[in-house]
Structure formats: structure tokens, C-alpha cells
Structure 1
């Protein structure tokens, strides 16, 4: 059997597996005996095929998945790697060990890759499409819509929701379901009334125990206690602040991002940023939020019910600041070198670099590295390039803060 046909057969079996589950889920109105379920011809055929794939020697499985992973460098070809992980449990475990994190391979394969830091050397290039009619923003992987076309992979989507005291950007994995109780919900961005301060909330707790103790464990105090509803925890992992321009001086926006979940030592050459390896359910992690007496520790909150940040001096968080542009006399505008990734002048354009103290052991070259850049290339089309130690989710949330109107900062 040719190798390409072999990969197609794997994808076909994974689709049959999902189709069988869908049929069983659709027939939940009646109870089906186990004997009749196993005796049906369709299910027995699928089970036999699954056993054949499960019984393959591990050495052969490793070689097959390594070949599939090495030959598929971008979407939609990376779907074959996901299909290998969907065959059975043994295939899934081997695929998870073979597929490396974006830091080492530069690819986004599984949903957890969106929470993992990007590569150190070359940034991951994406673009954002804004839909003003529906107040939605979609993050795609690719250089631009003109170059990627139909091959663009949707990574994240956000919806702008207005509140009485500010604005929320609800971030999900899909573009048609922005419910916070859905398993597609990954986090949110919340602003104050003036749109000058933002907080990034992650639905998943940080992996590092020290970082987790310093992050905010935020849970709404006024929740309806319904037995069928699962309450979601939100962890404050970053804070974004824009400097007020009271004197109305000429110049671009000035912003600063404090990444509570990333220590400043992560930008050093041999240091490692916290990297989640699996999606953690909020209920699975609830036990770690209890003290020795079984009581949930108190988290400070303001009058609106929003939690305040837990303070700790165990580590210094990473602080990002926008790179100062230079004034171009001939063009009569502020300019930054985006290396061709930004073509339209806009107040939203920015580049973020690390802001470090002289006492911290960070070289000048590491301080000049652009960790995140965002800019406009057309009507409602913006580019977003990020790298280590930021993740796609964190970079997308920071860029969303630039879309909010800020008359007091310009």
C-alpha cells in the first residue's frame, strides 16, 4: 500500500470512529442493550478494524507516525498528524510524544499548542480578520489572506461584549460558539471603563506551581448554583496598561504588559517558560486551590465582584513595553521596522520588547528582540507575529486590546 493511501486510510478510520459516536449520541432517547450494540454489523466492523490498528508493534507505530509528522509541515497537511492521534489510545500516546512543542518545532498541531510558547528563533506568522458587523475577530495561521487563501487555519476567535463597566473579549477555539460554559472556551480579555487597563484571564491554571501561586484565581461570587451548570475558573495571567495622554502630545500609544504567568528569566537563553502539556479541566484542578483544612483560600475582590491580584515576591514577572518608534521627517509620521509585514499606517501598530532592570542578567541583544508585533495591512486585516516566551493565546489577547477605542491615550 502506498504511503499516501495509508495516511488516507488512517483518516477514514478516525472519521468512522467519530461517526459511530455521533450516531450513538443521537440515539440517547432509548436505552440500547450491550448485546444488540455489539451485534450490529457496522459497529463490529469498526471494532475489528480498531483492534487491528491497536495491535501494531510500537516500533512500527513510531516509525509510521514519525514519517507522517516529518513530511507535513503546514496545514492542511498537519491534519494527517491529528488523524494519527485519533485512531486509538496507543496511537494518541505515541503521537503526543513524537510531536514537539512549538518552541522546538515551530508548528501548531493540537489545541494545547495555542497555550504553549512559540519558537525562540523565528516567529510564528499569523493574521487577524476583523468583522465589525458582528464584533468578532478571527486569528488565522498564515502570512496573509491573499497568500494563504483557503489554506488558512483558524486558530482562535474572539467576540466583543459590552458591559456597563467595560468591555469583554471572549476567546474561543471556534468562531460560532462563544459560550463561557463550552469546552471551546479558552479565556477572555477584560477592560476598564476608559479602555486603558486590561486583564487577560485564562481558563487553564498555570503549570508552574510558583507561578500558579502568584497568579489570580478568579471566580465569580454571584453565580447561580444550578446542578447542571459547571462554573468556570478564570486565572489572571497578564495585565495590560496604556499610558494616558493628558497633554495631548504628538506620539503613538504607549503600552506595558505585565505577564504574571511568565517569569522574566524565561527570556534568557537556557531558561524555560512554563509550558502546559495537556488541557486541564477546571474541576480537576480545584483540589489544588484548597488549603490543608479543605477551605478555599480567600481572594480579594472589589465592589463589582472582580478578584484582585495575589501578590508574591517569589519571582519577577516578565514585563513587555512597546518599542519606541522614530519620527520620519519626510513622511511626517512615526515609523517602525516591521520587515515588510505591515503596510498601512495605523495607531494600532506596535512592537513589544522585554523591559528589564539593569540588575537582571539580560543581554542587550535579548532586550532588542521583538517578541510580538502587530500591524495593519488592509481594511480589517492585521498581521500578528509572536515568538518565545509568548503563546498564541497571550499574543492574540494583547492584540485585541489594541482594537478598543482609547481617546484618552491618543
Structure 2
């Protein structure tokens, strides 16, 4: 029996049991038609517990879900794994246990994976679509190796909207492309720039590590029109600072970019190093994800929400810098090797590597952790790896769209 027929069978069981429950309540009311006042009693019926699929032996259910997890590697078929987690509590618990983090599996399955570090041994290939009219940016997971046109479709991951203010610019980042308000339950963070567009701060709506302190924000105004839910506290946790050095040489040299990852220790890139890993969204509004019942939780406690370093890094934080390009005599421009992922010359193109603390670069400092580049008028590729998450990588790339004075130089991507 196919997975689709199983889910349809589950819906049928749910409907029949719900109708029985309604008949029980209605029948009691009919028998109570008299001059006496009788209290109406409703007998709750748990459709999921009475379903034959919910009562599958755990050993058999585990084997089925493990086979499904191993077979559905990429989207869109991977949506079946997500659907299994929404069947009932027993299915949810086993599915969440089987599905590993992107660091281990290299896969993005549940929404929380967007806040978790990417794979260690490879780059997750994504792309960003820009809408100039609405000032919005959508991040997608690439389903094919090349995205040369805007007609290519991928798995939607995140959305951001640019909001200009008198002294700064905010990019509100959300899980929902249709609701990008700070008061929404789908709001997960923001990027804020200074007036010149040379310095940026990334704020996370959730604490990146235990002991993280809330950063005071001068602006508490809602960006969207929807009302704030009282269950969503307003919080901004600073997780990274990005700076662009002013290019006083004009076209004689490329601009310099530095990212200080406040929530990631410098040891995270070393073998055996760990970065904070969020395991759930403890502060989200459960009503924000009606199509994902596995995403709901009655508790808003932050216990066991994080793994990895539990306190602010004391041995130094991870600092990323843009990889120095080389000068190409024939092309008369600066070049970088993006391995075919970037095809259009742009000031926005960059590659980030780890900056050594002691000045001595090791092999781990040669790996490209994040690369971003232009492939069309409003289409850009974004590839990232451990210890950055999709949310952090997306926010860093958004800063490249907003640079003003620093945007004097255009680098041309090299081709290997």
C-alpha cells in the first residue's frame, strides 16, 4: 500500500470517528427532551488513537519510516517524510528521532532545520529571487544543479522584506512569504544596517545559546498589518555583526568584508568542534503552522532547545572574511573561482572563509563556508555549509544587497 493511500485511509478513519462522536452527543440531546433540565455531556473521542495506523507496532512503524527516510532524499518527494510526522504522536516521535540535523544528513526537512548548521562535508546549494517592486527576497533550496532562469522552481525556505527607516534599513526574515511582519509567529529574525550601509547586525528571534541576552531595539513598531499574538514575546538576540570597509581605492582593489559570528565559537570549524544547534521553536505561535500539526507544542519552555555550547563562547568567536580574489591580466578584473555557480560580474559576489585567530591559516581556513553570486538580473546563488545555518547565511547575503558607499568595485567570478 502506498503512502498516499495510508494518509487517505487515516483521513477516512478520522471522519468516521468524528461523525460517531457527533451522533453520541446528538442522541443524548434527543433522549433528554422533557421538562427537566439535563446537563449536556459530550464524550470526547480521540480519532488518532483509534485509527489502525496509529496502533501499528512500534518496531514495524520504525522500519517503515526508516525506509521512507532513506528513499526520499530530496524535495519534492521529501514532503512525505513531513506528512508522516503529522499523522499522530507516535508517528511524530519516531519520525523526529529518525530525521537527523543537516549537519549529519545534509538534508533540510522540518522548518527548524533552517536554524541549524549546514553539512560539514558539502555545500547546500540554494538560490535567492529578488523582487524589486515589492522589495522582497525569497530563498529556495535548489532542486537541480543549475538555475539559469527565473522560471526554475525550488523548495521555498525563507522570505525577507526590506523596510527603510530614517536612520537604518531593516530586513524582516520570515518562514512565510505572505506574512512578513515582526509580530507574526513565522518571524524568525532580522538584519539591520547603519545609515551608510557599511555595518549590519543580525538578530535572531530565539536565543542562540543558553545565557544569551536580549538586545534592546529602538524600534518596536510592527512591520506588517497583522496584530501581535500575546503569546509571542518581542525579542532580539544579536548573533552576528557584518562590516564592509570603505573602498578608498575605487576600482584598484576589491572591498573587504568581515562577519563576526557572536553565537558561534571559533573552534566550531575544527575537527570535533561544535556550534549551537536549535532543536525547536519554543516561542512560536502554534496557530501559525496549521498545516504542520507535528510543529505544535503545548509547552513554551526552552528546556533542551539547544545543543552544543551552552554559554557565550569564551575562547573567541568565529570571524569570517571574504576570500581574496586574484587579478586577471587578460580580463583586467578581479576573479574568484565559484566552480560554475556564478556567471555574472557583480559587486555582490563573494566567498567567505574562516579567519585564523593567531594569523596561521590551517586547512580548515581554506574551505569556503558561504558563497554568493549573481546568475541573472534578479537571481542569485547562495551555497553554505557548517557552522552557518540557512537563516544566518541568508541574512549575510541580504547585507550584500544594501551596501551603498562600499559598493564601488565589481568583481568578476572566475571559471574553473
Name the TM-score, length of structure 1 as normaliser. 0.80
Write out the 4+ residue segments of structure 1 that deviate beyond 4 Å after TM superposition.
13-20, 36-39, 43-46, 146-151, 219-224, 285-288
Deviation at 1:112, TM superposition (A): 0.4
- Is the partner of 2:340 in helix, strand or coil? coil
Q: Is residue 2:349 matched to residue 1:343?
A: no
Deviation, structure 1 residue 287: 11
* More helix per residue: 1
Q: Contact conserved, 1:38 with 1:44, CA < 8 A, in 2?
A: no
Which residue in the other structure is 1:354 paired with? 354
Match of 2:364 among 363, 366, 372: 366
1:104 equivalenced with 2:104 (yes/no): yes
The residue number in structure 2 matching 1:161 is 163
Pairwise CA distance, 1:60? 0.8
- Check whether the contact 1:13–1:87 (CA below 8 A) recurs between aligned residues: no
Cα deviation, residue 45, structure 1: 10
What is the CA-CA distance between 1:281 and the residue it aligns to? 1.0
Aligned twin of 1:60: 60
The residue that corresponds to 1:78 in the other structure is 78
Partner SS for 2:52: helix
Note the alpha carbon deviations across 1:346-369, whole angstroms, 9 max, x for none: 01000000001227xx86210100
C-alpha change, 1:381 and 1:34, in structure 2 (3 Å) is: farther
Whether the 8 Å contact between 1:322 and 1:352 is mirrored in structure 2 is: yes
CA-to-aligned-CA distance 1:145-170 (integer Å, 9 cap, x gap): 45896651000010001011111000
Aligned alpha-carbon RMSD (Å): 3.4
The CA distance in 2 between the partners of 1:64 and 1:221, in whole Å, is 51
The 5-angstrom pairing of residues 8-87 of structure 1 reads 8-12=4-8, 35-36=25-26, 47=47, 51-87=51-87
Name the count of aligned residue pairs: 363
Q: Gaps (5+ residues) in structure 1?
A: 24-31, 289-310
Question: Counterparts of 1:191 and 1:205 in 2: how far apart (Å)?
Answer: 21
**Counterpart position of 2:404:** 406
Rounded Cα–Cα distance in structure 2 between residues aligned with 1:353 and 1:376: 19
Query: Aligned partners of 1:94 and 1:323: how far apart in 2?
Result: 42
Question: Are the aligned partners of 1:127 and 1:144 in contact in 2 as well (CA < 8 Å)?
Answer: no
Q: Tell me the TM-score normalized by structure 2.
A: 0.79
User: Which blocks of at least 5 consecutive residues in structure 2 are unaligned?
Assistant: 30-42, 222-226, 285-298, 305-310, 409-416
- Provide the rounded CA distance (Å) in 2 between the counterparts of 1:333 and 1:122: 29
Find out whether 1:195 has 2:197 as its counterpart.
yes
**CA separation in 2, counterparts of 1:38 and 1:329?**
89
For 1:106-125, what aligned pairs fall within 5 Å after superposition? 106-125=106-125
Q: Output the CA distance in 2 between the equivalents of 1:386 and 1:233.
A: 26
Larger radius of gyration: 2
Q: Distance in 2 between matches of 1:63 and 1:139?
A: 34
For 1:133, the equivalent position in structure 2 comes to 133
Q: How far apart are the structure 2 equivalents of 1:84 and 1:332?
A: 55
Q: 1:343 to 1:249 in 2, by over 3 A?
A: closer
Counterparts of 1:153 and 1:322 in 2: how far apart (Å)? Answer: 28
**Alignment equivalent of 1:260, drawn from 240, 259, 262:** 262
Q: Structure 1 residue 379: deviation in Å?
A: 1.1
Shift of 1:320: 0.2
Are 2:178 and 1:176 equivalent residues in the alignment? yes
Q: How many angstroms does 1:407 deviate by?
A: 2.3
CA contact (8 A) 2:49 2:55 kept: no
CA drift at 1:313 = 7.2
Hey, what does 1:294 align to over in structure 2?
none
Q: Distance in 2 between matches of 1:103 and 1:324?
A: 27
Provide, for residues 189-238 of structure 1, a one-character-per-residue CA deviation record: whole Å limited to 9, x for no partner: 000100011010111112x43xx44xx412447769x9964432111100
What's the offset of the Cα at 1:16?
Answer: 7.5
Deviation by residue 1:257-278 (Cα, 9 ceiling, x = unmatched):
0001100000001112111111
The CA distance in 1 between the partners of 2:108 and 2:59, in whole Å, is 25
Contact 1:145 1:152 in 2 (8 A): no
Superposition pairs of residues 237-256 of structure 1, within 5 angstroms: 237-248=239-250, 250-256=252-258
Counterpart contact for 2:168–2:192, Cα < 8 Å: yes
Distance in 2 separating the partners of 1:380 and 1:354: 28
Q: Distance in 2 between matches of 1:271 and 1:179?
A: 35
What secondary structure, in the 3-state scheme, does the structure 2 residue paired with 1:236 have? strand
Q: Distance in 2 between matches of 1:16 and 1:146?
A: 44
Is the 2:149–2:376 Cα contact (8 Å) retained in structure 1?
A: no
